[in-house]
Structure 1
Amino acid sequence: MPLVTTKRTGLVDQVIAQIRELVSSGEWPIGEKIPPETELVGALGVGRNTVREAVRALSHAGLLEVRQGDGTFVRATNEISGAVRKLCGPELRQVLEVRRALEVEGARLAAGARTDEDLTGLEACLTIRNEAMRRQDSTEVATTDAEFHRLLVAASHNPVLISLYEGIRETVASSVATALNRDAQAELVSHAELLAAVRDGDPRQAAEEAGAFLDELLSQMGSESAAEQLD
């Protein structure tokens, strides 16, 4: 088959690329409302239809969320995270199940692959998290807890697993915050044993510790659902 002369990228693709960059870089943070259509048209120098088509495409990809009568908001920083959010929706159970699959394997691999630098980062993050717990700063607890799990998976040094987990970072952070809001005792969960297992190079124990607290949350949710059905 003969090669075909390439064509210039269309205007819609160019607008999509610019918006995606603004979102992924944090210039437009998650949860924030993006500029209105008229402002985007003027700033980008394109027509309304081009902007609408780009926003529609990014909405389908899960990066943006169009709320009729309210505007368009940033939903995720990349397509993987956006897809997970769309698939899981508001269902915390589904998010926790995805987290468990990735974090258990991440912990198991980290126990055999972690470096001294990884351990230092994990210990520092857990120290900050515990201090936030003592201050009863739930926002800081949620942020540092999510970061601890990210660093744990990063310590696996498996690029495919790390890439998958990076794709659901916002979803993980949301699930942590939601769990804390659902149960005030959730902030008392300690990751000291998990960190010790990784430090000691014990893959079995690390995987068990990584899954234990998520199993407990899932079990609590199952009990709540059963109680609701009985009511």
Structure 2
Amino acid sequence: MPLASTRRTGLVDQVIDQLRDAVRRGEWALGERIPTEAELAATLGVGRNTVREAVRALAHGGLLEVRQGDGTYVRATSEVSGALRRLGESKLREALQVRRILEVEGARLAAAARTGADLDTLTRLLGERDALWSRGRVDDFARCDAEFHLAMVDAAHNSVLSELYRGLTELVTASVVTTSSADLHHAEPVDHRGIVAAIADGDADRAARHTTEFLDDLVARHLG
């Protein structure tokens, strides 16, 4: 357990921060039950009421889910993601529109800011996602595809943009699973080589155009 004893001021806020960081680091996986209230209180050196209040705040933010009589589970990896999950399928179009805004600008900025290491990562993930598709491993393909898009946004080297996009990661992965399952009859997945090539060439307009075309097509094919 990586949690540390807290100071005696602002205890609830400190516990909230530590629990949030543990979730973001993957200490507890999505869908996993976290330690009990008593266990957390003992580890953190605080009272159970403090833990209870912190958990209640994170549950309200969508990060955790309290199941009466069963325990507390990780519901999302960030409050942004938790809020998006609560939107439900009826809001998928709006979420994809936000994804489009962030990814198009991310691709544009990446063309100017990407490093050699960024290009290596994008090329590696592109090969992995295509290999997973060819083996029909839709869930693994979706996770790898989402990782590719996150790496593209990260290549922009804008920390605020990356943080906003990370809030969409779970929804992006879920949408990829849904759309990929419907598209398995195609021999090849959506080709992202044009995006990587444009970023490698430092062509911001071309990178943005390829990304726009891909996401517009995704919305048109699956949301009408």
Give the TM interval when normalised to the shorter protein. 0.7 to 0.9
In 1, the alpha carbon distance for the partners of 2:163 and 2:111 equals 19
Q: Max radius of gyration: which structure?
A: 1
- Structure 2 distance, partners of 1:182, 1:55, is 38
CA distance in 1, matches of 2:79, 2:153: 20
1:1-231 matches, within 5 Å, as: 8-41=8-41, 43-44=43-44, 46-68=46-68, 70-86=70-86, 88-90=87-89, 91-184=91-184, 188-223=189-224
Measured against aligned partners, the alpha-carbon deviations of 1:124-152 in whole angstroms (never above 9, x if no partner) come to 11011111112222122112111111111
Q: Structure 2 length as normaliser, TM-score?
A: 0.82
Instruction: State the distance in 2 between where 1:155 and 1:16 align.
Output: 30
Distance 1:150 1:185, change over 3 A: farther
Where in structure 1 are there 5+ consecutive unaligned residues?
Answer: 1-6, 224-231
Total equivalences in the alignment:
216
Q: 1: CA distance between counterparts of 2:20 and 2:183?
A: 35
Distance 1:28 1:53 in 2: 19
Question: What is the CA distance between 1:182 and its match in structure 2?
Answer: 4.7
CA RMSD, Structure 1 to Structure 2 (Å): 2.6
Give 1:164 deviation, angstroms. 1.9
Structure 1 segments, 4+ long, off by >6 Å, are none
TM-score by length of 1: 0.80
Question: 1:101, CA displacement in angstroms?
Answer: 0.8
Aligned counterparts of 1:170 and 1:30: Cα–Cα separation in 2:
10
Secondary structure, counterpart of 1:188 in structure 2: coil
In the alignment, is the contact (CA less than 8 A) between 2:112 and 2:204 conserved in 1? yes
Partners in 1 of 2:173 and 2:84 — Cα distance? 13
User: Is residue 63–residue 82 contact of structure 2 (8 Å, CA) maintained in 1?
Assistant: yes
CA distance in 2: counterparts of 1:98 and 1:118, whole angstroms? 23
Q: Which residue of the partner structure matches residue 3 of structure 1?
A: none
